[in-house]
Amino acid sequence: MKFVHIADMHFDSPFTSLGRIQGLSDIRRLEQRKILKKIIEYIQENNIECLFISGDLYENDYVKQSTIEYINNLFKTIPNTKIYIAPGNHDPYLINSYYMKYEWSNNVHIFKYNLEKIELNNTDIYGYGFSSFYSKGINLNELNLNNEKNNILIMHADLDASKESNEAYNPVSTKDLLMFDYVALGHIHKPKFDTKIVYPGSPISFGFDELGAHGFISGEIKNKEINIEFIPIDEREFKEIKYDISKINSKEELIEKIQELKLNKNDFYKIILIGKRNFEINILEINKLIQINNILKINDKTKINYNLEKIKNENSLKGIYVDLILEKIKELNNEEEINKYLKAIEIGLDSLNNT
């Protein structure tokens, strides 16, 4: 049996990480549509028998009916492909949700909140869906699998997570999944497919915590033997660039250097400033002046370029000022608070140097 496994499409996501650039969120939502269409075309061209969707197909709080209609119309174009959907924490099977009230294509099967088994010729497919935005998980230990058939499990789950949290996302242990021949999971947006327990990741990337290629899994299972391939499909990537500013002496020079960077126009970038700074950095101001639309974030990880130990021993106002703040820093354990005090030293020294 040939299959495609996707998860975490999150249709109609607000894409809050793209808010800096006007209109980019709308573009990304259009790209979600384009990506699903490309996956459906792949299924058509390769005679794929089953499509597994492991949750978070759409955003329950934001999705429009027109988007659901778009998805379903694509499903209708592959009538010979069985589509199995296991709702997740962003698209749970709720009363009045689109899973319940919408009339889906005949080839679509939506798993509900009880573990269910679908029997095919050589394969048994098990599935479980969220019935709310959280799930404490299900008991798999009582299952009696038919070991003469391929056994597949489809669900949205948090692998090897604690079951104690009140905000659980269907925690499940690896050892409980080993009895299956293939486990089609969703929830983690970065691909993880080094075993038969597989997260395909989100086909489209949502932010800088999801660096690298994004796509879907194409696989085949035969006589309990599984072969899978990860196929990249998102034409954009989120990327980070570390930029050392130790030799830069002004805000204007920094902006010029950033705008000279050679960037892929399709990708989104976070610039992380590192090194020792020779001037005060105002990130909000720099963000306003940068004129490159695919630079979405600039983070300041630089360190102050002063010999503070030497300055604090000076018999001067600067020495007293630095000594007082360094003594305060010794009392702190929080890195964010320490950085605030170091920033205060920088601003104070700049002011004293200019008086």
pLDDT band at 310 (very low <50, low <70, confident <90, very high): confident
pLDDT at 149 over 80: yes
pLDDT at 165 over 80: no
Measure the CA–CA gap between 261 and 259, rounded to whole angstroms: 6
The predicted structure's pLDDT at residue 133 = 93
The predicted structure's pLDDT at residue 19 = 61
Which of 1-5, 139-143, 346-350 shows the lowest per-residue confidence on average (mean pLDDT)?
Answer: 346-350
The better pLDDT of the pair 25, 42 is held by: 42
Phi-psi region of 285 (alpha: psi -120 to 50; beta: other; left: phi over 0): alpha
pLDDT band at 25 (very low <50, low <70, confident <90, very high): confident
Q: Where are the domains of the chain?
A: 2-232, 238-353
pLDDT at 101 over 70: yes
pTM: 0.83
Residue 152, strand partner residues: 125, 182
The predicted structure's pLDDT at residue 166 = 61
- Could you report how far apart the first and last alpha carbons of the chain are, in Å? 77
The predicted structure's pLDDT at residue 106 = 97
Q: Are 108 and 81 in contact (CB under 8 A)?
A: no
DSSP single-letter state for residue 169:
B
**Residue-averaged pLDDT of the chain:** 91
pLDDT band at 41 (very low <50, low <70, confident <90, very high): very high
* Candidates 3.90.600.10, 3.60.40.10, 3.60.21.10, 3.40.50.720; CATH matching 2-232: 3.60.21.10
pLDDT band at 211 (very low <50, low <70, confident <90, very high): very high
The predicted structure's pLDDT at residue 272 = 96
Per-residue pLDDT, averaged over 158-184, amounts to: 86
pLDDT band at 160 (very low <50, low <70, confident <90, very high): confident
91, amino acid identity: D
pLDDT band at 163 (very low <50, low <70, confident <90, very high): low
Q: Helices in 185-307 by DSSP H: which ranges?
A: 251-259, 283-289
* Token digits of residue 98: 């689109």
pLDDT at 354 over 90: no
